[in-house]
Amino acid sequence: MAEQMKVIYERPTSWANKVTHYCPGCTHGVAHRLVAELVDEMGLVDKTIGVWPVGCAVLGYDYFNFDSVEAAHGRAPAMATGIKVTNPDNFVFTYQGDGDLASIGMAEIVHAAARGWPITVIFINNGNYGMTGGQMAPTTLLGQKTTTSPLGRTPQANGFPIRVAEMLAQLDGPAYIARVSLDSPVNIRKAKSAMRKAFNAQVRGIGFSLVECLSTCPTNWKLTPVESMERVRKEVMPYFPLGEFKVVEGVL
């Protein structure tokens, strides 16, 4: 009987056997798992270098069995560039939150995308600064209350949210840009498929790739995990539509 049993679910081998520090209902764990599955499936564990951000994923390097470095706040794309040029055959990805990537690190991400060199970016958009306690982020929605926009974000006081995927897709450099959501099984499967394309864009040497992941932050949103998923669908997706914004030829 035993040899007929089929493995349908297991821990990815590139996943270190550790309990994460993420809050219940946070989708960082989902995004991490997708990275680990793809590194496994694409046989990349020996040539991967992860570049981790400052933010909730600051300890991300602890959870994987591949080489990793910890970047300064917002500088992961620059650091990844430095790593990639020394060993172009390696697989180099950054994993960044919205404060890291879209606020302090905006210059680095725009120029990395404009250079178009094959590195991959996993961008977690949860609409606030999670680790520091829920302050307003560049992705915080209008009307959204945070610890630094206590009455809700207004254009007059705080300016408008930034749609990173759409913005970077205007550049000639990127090979693949998509926005996905981690709110439901079907969207997670789609997210994995987008990430696979993003990984492939690098592995095949085509160019820069980025997947923006709509994520949850139940602790700072002050919602339950289930309510958080609903909020993503009802409030976040209308402003940050899902889809592929740039797919150059050869990306699959």
Residues at the interface with other proteins (CB under 8 A): 16, 45-49, 51-52, 58-59, 61-62, 64-72, 75, 78-87, 90-91, 107-108, 110-111
What are phi and psi for residue 146, nearest 5 degrees?
-135, 175
Smallest gap, in angstroms, from Cβ of residue 167 to other proteins?
16
Q: Give the nearest distance from C-beta 248 to other proteins in angstroms.
A: 22
Helix (H, G, I), strand (E, B) or coil at 3: helix
For the purposes of burial, counting CB atoms within 10 Å of the CB of 252, is it exposed (0-12), middle (13-18) or buried (19 or more)? exposed
CA distance 180 to 227: 19
State the distance between the two ends of the chain, measured CA to CA, in whole angstroms: 38
CB closer to other proteins out of 90 and 158: 90
Least spacing, CB of residue 44 vs other proteins, in Å: 9
Closer Cβ to other proteins, 13 or 184, answer by number: 13
Q: How far is the CB of 196 from other proteins (least distance, A)?
A: 20
Smaller CB distance to other proteins: residue 55 or 161? 55
Record the tokens describing residue 230, joined without a space: 């609903």
Nearest to other proteins of 51, 175 (CB atom): 51
Identify how many contiguous H helices and E strands the chain contains and give both numbers: 10, 9
